[in-house]
Amino acid sequence: MKSRLLLSTVALFGLFKTSYSQDSEIKRIAAHYKEVTENLDESMIYEITTTVRLETIGDQSYRITFQHDNAGTDSTGKISPPSINKIIVRRNLAASAEYYEEYLVENNEITFYYMNETGYTPNEMRYYYKKNKLIKAKADIYDTENPGTVKETYEATSNIKSYIVKAASEEIIIGKKYIKLFNDITSITLAQ
């Protein structure tokens, strides 16, 4: 009986410690997001705008904004590339939907993803990551008949639905491609 009680206590403590660790990490990410957003300097932005015409759905436009810190110099005086802090992607799919996405980046890793979709199925998603692992997911699905009214909310820090874990993993892959694009752009511009 005592061993069961001890085992239960240890398991409960482990669960509490994991939950506390996730909560503190989520708060840290939120504070970092606020700091990056509030300290935006217009001189520390790269922006790419493009339009692709697709035969079946029409024009699809993208505007990708990279927020970064200043490039520095190392001890030899060589310019070091800037570090990316945040990626903002605005996509318009013909007349059917618009997407606004943000990737918060720390040390070339995605720590937070936000997406707001307007159109047929308006919704918002928030994914929090630690070391490329999803630690929290939150989704709000809006009522199409009552704009601005949340019809359904999903929030989880454990036992996250597998299709959400898969979607969050796909955003890590896409985010890494954006980071690579930024690093390629800055290495080209610094080389000139």
* pLDDT tens over the chain, length 192 residues: 555 544 444 443 444 444 557 889 999 999 989 988 888 777 788 899 988 887 777 788 889 999 988 766 667 777 777 888 999 999 887 667 889 999 999 988 999 999 998 877 788 999 999 998 999 999 988 887 777 788 888 888 888 889 899 999 999 999 999 999 998 988 887 776
For the chain, the domains span 2-191
Nearest by Cα to 112 from 89, 82, 135: 135
- Residue carrying structure tokens 């720390």: 106
The pLDDT, as a whole number, for residue 8 is 45
Q: Tell me the whole-structure pTM to 2 decimals.
A: 0.80
* SS3 call for 172: helix
Residues in contact with 46: Cβ distance below 8 Å, sequence separation at least 6, in sequence order? 65, 66, 68, 182, 185, 186
- Give the per-residue pLDDT at 5: 45
Taking Cα atoms as reference points, which of 104, 65, 70 lies closest to residue 86? 104
For residue 72, the model assigns a pLDDT of 67
Amino acid at 174: I
pLDDT at 19: 52
pLDDT of residue 136: 93
